[in-house]
Structure 1
Amino acid sequence: MSWRILALSALGCMALLVAIGGTWLLLLPGSPARGSAPAISRDEAEATLAALKPPKRKRPLIAIVGINDMSETTDYLMPYGILARADVADVLTLATQPGPVTLYPALKVQPHATIAEFDAAHPDGADYVIVPAMTPENDATVLQWIRSQAGKGAIVIGVCVGAKVVANTGLLDGKRATTHWYSVGDLRKHSEIRYVADRRLVVDRGAATTTGITASMPMALTLVEAIAGRAKAEAVARDIGLAAWDARHRSDAFGFTRPFALTAIANSLAFWNREQLGIALTPDVDEVSLALIADAWSRTYRSRALTLAATAQAQTSRGGLGILPDRIADDWPAKQTLPAAVALPPAQALDETLRAIGARYGSRTADFVAMQLEYPR
């Protein structure tokens, strides 16, 4: 979900609060629903895997495409990091134009190629195209390229609000789909698309979509399983610290609630207490853990995560991606330096980060971030 959208939402909340004395808050639901999500039947799970089998190559080619500004951090980096770690496919990060990709709400990376360079090297196209959330969601260049890849037989996967980008290509017309809870209403404006609740991953005839940001983790593992089998997916899941990754989800546990709105307002108003928190970049940093940590801290409305390095040179991540530092610095104030959770398995790093956010800013801010990430804690 776009940082800008959430910021505008918070400003809108404040304006309403001033205008009508906060009466609108009483109309919002309180705490979200609790309880377990319904189990996924074996038949449905097997059908999902069958629909995601490699369409062309034994060792598939996977392209993760973004625009050079405002592509979502975790949507872009988590699928790459998990799939590169699995080593069951050739995985490339792409941008529409030359130069780095500035992700939101944090991090800057060097993609492997532009879409033009990819097309020149692979005229037969990718097996899978992963589409993160991006702003704007109707960039003509990226929409045309996604359509072209689908025409060459690629399975297109919209992660989080990337589903709206895929919807704008027309490739979801007449199909089932899901997206981040915040954008379900926008997806439903496409009358030809049938929204599916209570699933983190929905696959329908060459197109897949997911719920919010953290759903890219089970999506990537499901893709590993479809490509290389259950045993390989289980090994990768153990490595990243995830016990299960099926499509079960409880959609009514996520929404624009009264606590969410109040936290957005309170944290936005605390502008005098905004922090810049430093993360030291190191060689072989786990790009998945880094993405989750930087993304989560930058969604508190109290802080922004910045990466630090002694030189401007990109640091090569565990999966071989260049991460560019935000600041050239040998050190950072100790109170504004984030703990080295990047050394933890990604799922554990996210849990530890949410605990640290709760300790620093309170449990409501940790819940506020988890809600944005659509993370079933």
Structure 2
Amino acid sequence: MKVLLFLAKGFETMEFSPFVDIMGWARNDYGYDIQVITCGFQKQVISTFHIPVTVDKLIDEIHIDDYEALVIPGGFEEFGFYEEAYHEKFLQLIRDFNSKGKIIASVCVGALPIGKSGVLKGRKATTYHFKEGIRQAQLREFNVNVIDEPIVTDNNIITSYCPQTAPGVGFLLLEKLTSKEKMEIVKKAMGY
């Protein structure tokens, strides 16, 4: 099975790397059939703090049926995150994943494009909680029931509220793709 890890310009590396590592450990050390495919609008995506990452696929090359889940790391506005995170092509990709009941997992402000896409309307979610709750207020504007907790799950959608939660979201995604028992094996091996 494949997980699509979408990297918008200005994404945070700390919110991206746990998914690569957790799924990598699961596949490499335990033989779980999970492959992470990175995706972006350009072949090279510049992260927050100017780290370039070369992605596997461009957004126009994505066929939804090839993937079990979509992962969206957050990013910084001043590094251009919302320019691509709010792009209509990406919002439609989120809608398409949701319409097929596939898992959508986000870290921090990665929840905001999910909210903007409309798929969180009337549902529970969370997003970045510091800076006077500005980002949570933005999520509420999309008619989302914002819960001030580290990780919030509503059916097929997982959201979280800061970079520290990224490994937790990664392990929860692994559990949903495999089982609680299989996830616990990897979690323990990684020292969590």
> Which TM-score tier does this pair reach, normalised by the shorter chain?
0.7 to 0.9
What is the Cα deviation at residue 125 of structure 1? Answer: 4.4
Please tell me whether residue 113 in structure 1 is matched to residue 57 in structure 2. Answer: yes
> What aligned pairs does 1:1-150 form with structure 2 within 5 A after superposition?
60-67=1-8, 69-87=9-27, 88=32, 89-97=34-42, 99-119=43-63, 124-134=65-75, 135-136=81-82, 137-150=85-98
Find the aligned partners of 1:224 and 1:160 in 2 and give their Cα distance.
18
Find the aligned partners of 2:74 and 2:14 in 1 and give their Cα distance.
9
Question: Aligned residue for 1:241?
Answer: 191
Q: Which amino acid aligns with 2:88?
A: A
What is the Cα deviation at residue 187 of structure 1? Answer: 1.7
What is the Cα deviation at residue 217 of structure 1? Answer: 0.2
Please tell me whether residue 166 in structure 1 is matched to residue 114 in structure 2. Answer: yes
Find the aligned partners of 1:229 and 1:144 in 2 and give their Cα distance.
29
> What aligned pairs does 1:237-276 form with structure 2 within 5 A after superposition?
237-242=187-192
What stretches of structure 1 of length at least 5 have no aligned partner?
A: 1-59, 243-377
1:153 is paired with a residue of what secondary structure? coil
What stretches of structure 2 of length at least 5 have no aligned partner?
A: 76-80
What is the Cα deviation at residue 232 of structure 1? Answer: 2.4
Question: Aligned residue for 1:196?
Answer: 147
1:174 is paired with a residue of what secondary structure? coil
Q: Which amino acid aligns with 2:35?
A: D
Structure 1 runs (4+) deviating above 4 angstroms are none
Report the count of equivalent residues: 176
Larger Rg: 1
What is the Cα deviation at residue 212 of structure 1? Answer: 0.5
Find the aligned partners of 1:232 and 1:154 in 2 and give their Cα distance.
20
TM-score by length of 2: 0.82
Question: Aligned residue for 1:220?
Answer: 170
**Per-residue displacement from partner, 1:122-170 (whole Å, max 9, x unpaired)?**
x524211011114114222211222222223322112111011111101
Question: Aligned residue for 1:18?
Answer: none
Please tell me whether residue 211 in structure 1 is matched to residue 129 in structure 2. Answer: no
Q: Which amino acid aligns with 1:193?
A: V
2:3 is paired with a residue of what secondary structure? strand
Task: Tell me the percent identity.
Answer: 24
Given that residues 62 and 129 in structure 1 are in contact (C-alpha distance below 8 angstroms), is that contact kept between their aligned partners in structure 2?
yes
Residues 1:230 and 1:124: Cα distance change in structure 2 (over 3 Å):
closer
Find the aligned partners of 2:160 and 2:44 in 1 and give their Cα distance.
26
Given that residues 156 and 208 in structure 1 are in contact (C-alpha distance below 8 angstroms), is that contact kept between their aligned partners in structure 2?
yes
What is the Cα deviation at residue 106 of structure 1? Answer: 4.6
Question: Aligned residue for 1:311?
Answer: none
